[in-house]
Chain A
Amino acid sequence: MQNIQLHIDSDGVAIASIDVAGRTMNVFTPELTADLAHLVAKVKADDNIRGVVICSNKDNAFIAGADLMDFVQSYDKGLSNRECAELVEPASEALRALEQLGKPVAVAINGLALGGGFELCLACHYRVLVKHPKAVVGLPEVTIGLLPGGGGTQRLPRLIGIPKALPLLLSGKHVSGDEALALGMVDALADADQVVEVARQWVLNNPEWHVPWDQRGFKVPGGVGAMAGHSMDSFGIGIAKLRGQTQDNYPAPIAIMKAVYEGTMVPLDRALKIERGYFGQLLGGPVARNLMRTMFVNRGAARKLENRPAHIAKHPVQKLGVLGAGMMGAGIAQVSAQASIDVVMLDTTSEQAAAGKENISKSLSHAVQKGRIDQASVDALLARIHTTADFADLAGCDFVVEAVFEDRGVKAEAYKNTLEGLGKQVEGFVMASNTSTLPVSSLAEGWATPEEFIGVHFFSPVDRMPIVEIIRGAKTSDHALARAMDFVAQLRKIPIVVNDSPGFYTSRIFCAYIDEGMAMLHEGVMPAVIENAGKQAGFATPPLAVTDEVSLDLQQRVINQSAADGLDDKFLRLHAVPVVEKMNALGRLGRKTGGGFYQFEPGQPKRLWPGLAEHFVATPQQPPLADVKNRLLYIQALESARCVEEGVVIASADGDLGSILALGYPTWTGGTLSFIETVGPAAFVAECDRLADLYGERFRPSAWLRERATERSVFY
Chain B
Amino acid sequence: MNDVFIYDHVRTPRGKGRPDGALHSITPVQLAATVLSALKERNNINPDDIEDVGLGVVMPIGEQGADLTRSALLAAGYGEGVSGYQINRFCTSALDTVKLGYGLIASGQADACIGGGVESMSRVRIGCDGGAAYTDPTIGEQFPYIPNGVCADTMAALDGFSREEVDAYAVESQRRADAAQSKGYFGRSIVPVRDPFGDVVLAKDEALRPGTTAEDLANLKPAFTFFGDAGYNAIVQQRYPELESIEHIHSSGSSSGIVDGACAVLLGSGNYGERNNLKPRARIVATATCASEPLLSLGGPIPVTDKVLARAGLSIDDIDLFEVNEAFAVVPMRYMKHFGVPHDRMNVCGGAIALGHPLGATGAIILGTVLDELERRELSRALVTLCAAEGQATAVIIERV
Contacts and interface: CB of A to CB of B under 8 A. Distances in A.
Interface of A: 225-227, 231-232, 234-237, 239-245, 247-248, 254, 257-258, 261-262, 526-529, 531-533, 536, 607-608, 622, 625, 628
B241 A226 contact: no
B244 A254 contact: no
A226 B137 CA distance: 10
A236 B140 contact: yes
B358 to A, nearest CB: 22
A244 B232 CA distance: 7
Contacts of B141: 239, 243, 248, 254, 258
B2 interface: no
A153 to B, nearest CB: 12
Contact of A237 (B230, B234, B237, B244): B230
A590 to B, nearest CB: 18
Contacts of A607: 244-245
Interface of B: 127, 130-132, 134-138, 140-141, 144-145, 227, 230-235, 237-238, 241-245
B237 A532 contact: yes
A625 B235 contact: no
24 contacts: A226-B131, A234-B135, A235-B134, A235-B136, A235-B140, A236-B145, A237-B227, A237-B230, A241-B230, A242-B231, A243-B141, A243-B144, A243-B234, A244-B231, A244-B232, A248-B141, A254-B141, A261-B136, A527-B244, A529-B241, A531-B244, A532-B242, A532-B243, A607-B245
B203 to A, nearest CB: 36
Given A225-B130, A625-B241, A232 B231 contact: no
B230 A235 contact: no
B231 A258 contact: no
B135 A235 contact: yes
A232 B140 CA distance: 12
Contacts, number: 98
A231 B244 contact: no
A224 to B, nearest CB: 10
A625 B240 CA distance: 9
B230 A231 contact: no
B241 A536 contact: yes
A254 B137 contact: yes
Contacts of A532: 237-238, 241-244
Q: Which of B134, B135, B227, B234 has the most CB of A within 10 A?
A: B135
A316 B166 CA distance: 67
B248 to A, nearest CB: 14
Contacts of A262: 138
Contacts of B227: 237, 240
A240 B224 CA distance: 14
Contacts of A225: 130, 135
B238 A528 contact: no
A258 B227 CA distance: 21
Q: Which of A243, A262, A527, A529 has the most CB of B within 10 A?
A: A243
A528 B134 CA distance: 29
A256 B204 CA distance: 51
Contacts of B230: 237, 240-241, 244
A608 B244 contact: yes
The 4 closest A-B pairs by CB, nearest first: A244-B231, A226-B130, A240-B231, A244-B234
A226 B135 contact: yes
A522 B389 CA distance: 39
Contact of A231 (B134, B138, B231, B233): B134
Nearest to B139: A239
Contacts of A240: 140, 144, 227, 230-232, 234-235
Contacts of A628: 241
A247 B131 contact: no
A528 B241 contact: yes
A245 B131 contact: no
Contacts of B233: 244
B134 A236 contact: yes
A239 B137 contact: yes
A699 B141 CA distance: 32
A227 B130 contact: yes
Contacts of A247: 234, 238
Given A239-B144, A261-B137, A625-B241, 17 more contacts: A225-B130, A226-B131, A226-B136, A231-B134, A234-B135, A235-B136, A235-B137, A240-B235, A244-B233, A247-B234, A248-B141, A261-B135, A262-B138, A528-B241, A528-B243, A532-B243, A533-B241
A584 to B, nearest CB: 24
A536 B235 CA distance: 10
B135 A236 contact: yes
Contacts of B135: 225-226, 231-232, 234-236, 261
A526 B241 CA distance: 9
B231 A241 contact: yes
A529 B130 CA distance: 35
B232 to A, nearest CB: 5
B125 to A, nearest CB: 11
Nearest to B234: A244
Nearest to A251: B141
Contact of B242 (A227, A237, A239, A529): A529
A261 B135 CA distance: 9
Nearest to B132: A226
